[in-house]
Structure 1
Amino acid sequence: MPQTRKRNTYELRSREVQEVLSKPPSHLILWSNLIIVFVFVIALILFSHIKIPAKKTGNQTLLEYLLKK
């Protein structure tokens, strides 16, 4: 019986509602991608400026340390 109830709720939605639910808004995808790229750029900038003390090699940036490994 639960299967028929679930199927009926999906069938009750109109075609317009199904179109809206099936395709996410393009501006939402655009802004989420921009935020992800922005976070990566900020992380690279921070990694290139943060100095870490290393006993053998002297002071080097975190990015230099990560790229050598």
Structure 2
Amino acid sequence: MTETDYEDDDIIEIKDIVESFNRFDGQGLISYEMARKWADELGLDYVPAQWCIRQNFIKGML
């Protein structure tokens, strides 16, 4: 995006970007049993397919 003067609209360029991801970078595994336990503790009526965790020295998707 290119910002312009106040009176003019910003210029937005749409791009398709293809990236390959390292599947092991920041990715963890979680058992269905643990995912169900967390869902129950949070009072959810479903089991999420993934969890985002944040803690000191720990972060990522499970």
Where on the TM-score scale, by shorter chain, does this alignment land: which range?
under 0.3
- Name the structure where helix makes up a greater proportion of residues: 1
- Name the structure where strand makes up a greater proportion of residues: 2
Normalization by structure 2: what TM-score?
0.24
Normalization by structure 1: what TM-score?
0.23
Greater CA radius of gyration, 1 or 2?
1
